[in-house]
């Protein structure tokens, strides 16, 4: 039972409480660049998740053999190997997605989330927890990309996953699919996340003081 | 490629297709190290130095090694290795021979390995089939564009520190929105066309 509980805890940590984009503010380049549509966002998220799981597992396996001084360089080589594999797979089986993500697939190598998880988690933990960590962080990343991608596609293009939402009379606000819209959308989304955090923190404080009041009586 | 083509490529890389504001390469250091104009300038100079050199070296590696042995698909692995080694080498070289420059740029150098602007410039050289000179000029110009963006933005952020936004917008969201407004200004250049 304990293992099960740990699993849920770890998944919640990666996807919500420590979401790599909304909370840790890592991996900004792909978040801003590929979220022009939900399809691209999902593609990027899945590709990065695959790399993250593979690299976490592999780094965890070899963590005892890597000398401390060259660990960052070794991590980057391992990650870039998996990125190349994912790139070739996408080129073979999902060519449309490969073409629309373009140079951002090889750039997964320098995505800070993957290196951060390798350094902070996989190099210190056993294989199975590292795999779960990769999965949960990857899902959190994908989730954040989908949120930003949905806002930008719905407002900037009037569609969701390619389906028209508002009929032909809708005039899309093109600024949201342009680069400037990426910064604005992510800014507002993170502001909403901070608002939610503030509310729940306030509530916790209020609850604590209410308990103290009750204790006094 | 003639001189005018090279100049057009450089102008495009600095202004119309600015690495930060229209391509999003190198957004992490852009948002991370832009809190003071002086640090922003240091980071920009370090990136310019590394990117100009790395574009030349990766061009040689790609055309002399990878292309010759049909190993083009390994370019990501090769380039990131070259960049990591080059950054390490520059750090050692500067510490030994140019301490003044090392003191100014030293702390930014390790961060550059994972700056996606450097890797993407090297990959774009291959994608656009630039020759050796053009590659170096492109790397230099793209890094200048990065420096321009990060220094301008650091000035904006210095003013943001004294602003009084709603509580939810404090910190990172406000920074992103300011970057959005700057990107809007830069998108005004996108109408410039040389062809």
ipTM confidence: 0.86
Q: What is the pLDDT of residues B45-59, one digit of tens each?
A: 888 989 999 999 999
Query: What are the residue ranges spanned by the domains of chain A?
Result: 2-216
Q: Which of B116, B145, B136, B147 is nearest to B52 (CA)?
A: B136
Q: Are B12 and A14 in contact (CB under 8 A)?
A: no
Q: Are A86 and A105 in contact (CB under 8 A)?
A: yes
For residue A3, pLDDT over 70 is answered with no
Q: Which of B28, B73, B167 sits opposite A29 (nearest CB)?
A: B28
> CA A60, CA A43: separation in Å to the nearest integer?
26
CA angle A153, A159, A163 (to 5 degrees): 140
For residue B153, pLDDT over 80 is answered with yes
Question: What CA–CA distances, in Å, run from B97 to B46, B84, B94?
Answer: 16, 20, 5
Residue B107 confidence (pLDDT): 73
Tokens standing for B76? 């990501």
SS3 A159: strand
For residue A1, pLDDT over 50 is answered with no
Q: Provide the 10 A C-beta neighbour count for residue A102.
A: 13
Q: Are B28 and A29 in contact (CB under 8 A)?
A: yes
Mean pLDDT estimate for chain A:
89
Mean pLDDT estimate for chain B:
88
Element (H, E) at A160: strand A159-160
Residue A23 confidence (pLDDT): 85
pLDDT band, very low/low/confident/very high, at A2 (cuts 50, 70, 90): low
Section A123-132 average pLDDT: 91
- Min Cα distance A125 → chain B (Å) is 23
Residue B26 confidence (pLDDT): 85
Alpha helices in chain B (DSSP H): 3-11, 27-32, 37-61, 75-97, 99-105, 109-112, 116-127, 132-160, 172-187
Residue B1 confidence (pLDDT): 67
Residues in chain A: 217
Is B102 at the interface with chain A, CB within 8 A? no
DSSP secondary structure of A9-50 = HHHHIIIIIT-TTTTT---HHHHHHSTTSHHHHHHHHHHHHH
Residue A52 confidence (pLDDT): 94
> CA A33, CA A162: separation in Å to the nearest integer?
18
**DSSP label at residue B72:** G
Instruction: Output the CA torsion sign for B176, B181, B185, B187.
Output: positive
Section A116-129 average pLDDT: 90
> CA B49, CA A22: separation in Å to the nearest integer?
32
CA angle B31, B35, B40 (to 5 degrees): 80
Contact A110 B174 (CB under 8 A): no
Is A23 at the interface with chain B, CB within 8 A? no
Section A81-96 average pLDDT: 93
- Min Cα distance B105 → chain A (Å) is 20
Residue B88 confidence (pLDDT): 86
pLDDT band, very low/low/confident/very high, at B137 (cuts 50, 70, 90): very high
Q: Which of B21, B123, B179 sits opposite A106 (nearest CB)?
A: B123
Residue B150 confidence (pLDDT): 92
Q: Which of A32, A110, A175 sits opposite B24 (nearest CB)?
A: A32
């Amino acid at each position: 039972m304990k293992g099960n509980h740990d699993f849920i805890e770890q998944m919640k940590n990666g996807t919500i409480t420590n979401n790599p984009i909304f909370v840790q503010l890592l991996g900004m380049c792909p978040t801003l660049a590929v979220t022009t549509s939900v399809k691209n966002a999902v593609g990027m998220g899945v590709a990065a998740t695959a790399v993250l799981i593979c690299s976490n597992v592999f780094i965890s396996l070899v963590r005892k053999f890597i000398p401390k001084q060259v660990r960052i360089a070794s991590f980057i080589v391992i990650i870039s190997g998996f990125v190349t594999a994912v790139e070739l797979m996408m080129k073979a089986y999902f060519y449309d997605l490969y073409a629309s993500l373009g140079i951002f697939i090889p750039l997964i190598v320098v995505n800070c989330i993957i290196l951060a998880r390798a350094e902070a988690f996989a190099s210190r933990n056993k294989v199975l927890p590292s795999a779960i960590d990769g999965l949960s962080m990857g899902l959190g990343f994908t989730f954040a990309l989908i949120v930003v991608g949905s806002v930008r596609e719905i407002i900037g293009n009037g569609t969701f996953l390619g389906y028209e939402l508002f009929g032909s009379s809708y005039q899309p606000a093109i600024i949201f699919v342009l680069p400037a819209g990426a910064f604005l959308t992510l800014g507002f989304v993170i502001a909403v996340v901070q608002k939610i955090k503030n509310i729940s923190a306030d509530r916790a404080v209020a609850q604590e003081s209410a308990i103290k009041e009750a204790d006094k009586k | 490629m003639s001189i005018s083509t090279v100049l057009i490529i450089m102008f495009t890389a600095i202004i119309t297709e600015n690495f930060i504001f229209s391509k999003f390469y190198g957004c992490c250091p852009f948002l991370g190290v832009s809190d003071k104009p002086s640090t922003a300038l240091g980071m920009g100079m370090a990136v310019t130095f590394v990117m100009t050199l790395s574009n030349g070296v990766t061009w040689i590696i790609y055309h002399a090694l990878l292309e010759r042995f049909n190993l083009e698909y390994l370019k990501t692995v090769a380039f990131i290795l070259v960049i990591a080694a080059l950054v390490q080498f520059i750090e050692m070289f500067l510490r030994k021979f140019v301490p003044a420059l090392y003191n100014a740029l030293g702390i930014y150098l390790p961060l550059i390995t994972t700056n996606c602007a450097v890797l993407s410039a090297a990959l774009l050289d291959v994608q656009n089939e630039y020759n050796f000179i053009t590659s170096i000029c492109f790397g230099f110009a793209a890094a200048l564009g990065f420096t321009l963006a990060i220094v301008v933005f650091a000035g904006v952020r210095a003013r943001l520190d004294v602003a009084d936004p709603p509580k939810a917008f404090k910190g990172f969201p406000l920074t992103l929105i300011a970057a959005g407004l700057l990107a809007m200004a830069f998108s005004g250049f996108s109408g410039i066309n040389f062809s």
